[in-house]
């Protein structure tokens, strides 16, 4: 458990900053695995991860994390609204490694979690930066 530290600064004669430690405690894990659950209209050119069964991918990743005893303090698999990568199949982002995977299926969950623990990547699933694009047609 970590405590939240709020920092506020006031401008004026010299900058004065005050830190307050909140009584709120929350879990911060070492690794996060984010799965896109975005649902777009059926005719959208990018498609959507939800239509490619991203909910099954999320369930498999949660199970892989739990099976390894990581869920309490080391890793968490979570669903997110949009990673803007649906055209690459189910998109998964591993943080803090900044690794983006595409075309993920439930059977890839163990490989992704094991690679994350070793500080490695699953090369066959990595979406190359050059293919990501900056298209704004979300």
Question: Per-residue pLDDT tens for 62-109?
Answer: 999 999 999 888 999 999 999 999 899 999 999 999 999 999 999 999
Percent of the chain with pLDDT over 90: 64
Q: Which of 76, 84, 90 is nearest to 35 (CA)?
A: 90
Residue 47 lies in a domain: yes
Number of folded domains in the chain?
1
Residue 94 lies in a domain: yes
| Ramachandran category for residue 14: left, alpha or beta (phi over 0 → left; psi -120 to 50 → alpha) | left
Residue 72 lies in a domain: yes
How are beta strands 92-95 and 99-101 bridged, if at all? antiparallel
Q: What pLDDT, on a 0 to 100 scale, did the predictor assign at position 128?
A: 80
pLDDT-derived band at 28 (thresholds 50, 70, 90) equals confident
Residue 81 lies in a domain: yes
Query: Residue 100's domain is classified under what CATH number?
Result: 3.40.30.10
Q: Give mean pLDDT, residues 109-129.
A: 94
pLDDT for residue 11 is more than 90: no
Residue 12 lies in a domain: no
Q: Structural domain of residue 72, as residue ranges?
A: 31-131
The Cα 107–Cα 105 span in angstroms is 5
Q: Give mean pLDDT, residues 54-67.
A: 97
Residue 55 lies in a domain: yes
Strand partners, 92: 35, 101
- For residue 106, give the DSSP letter: G
Q: What pLDDT, on a 0 to 100 scale, did the predictor assign at position 73?
A: 84
Residue 20 lies in a domain: no
Q: Which of 51, 49, 66, 64 is nearest to 107 (CA)?
A: 64
Residue 14 lies in a domain: no
């Amino acid at each position: 458990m970590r405590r939240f530290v709020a920092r506020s600064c006031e401008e004026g004669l010299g900058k004065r900053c005050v830190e307050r430690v909140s009584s709120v405690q929350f879990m911060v894990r070492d690794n996060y695995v984010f799965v896109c659950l975005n649902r777009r209209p059926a005719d959208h050119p990018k498609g959507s991860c939800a239509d490619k069964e991203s909910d099954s991918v999320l369930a498999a990743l949660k199970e892989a994390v739990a099976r390894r005893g990581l869920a309490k303090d080391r890793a968490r698999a979570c669903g997110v609204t949009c990673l803007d990568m649906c055209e690459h199949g189910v998109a998964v982002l591993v943080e803090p490694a900044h690794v983006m995977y595409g075309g993920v299926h439930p059977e890839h969950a163990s490989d992704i979690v094991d690679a994350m623990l070793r500080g490695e990547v699953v090369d066959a699933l990595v979406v190359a930066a050059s293919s990501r694009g900056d298209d704004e047609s979300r």
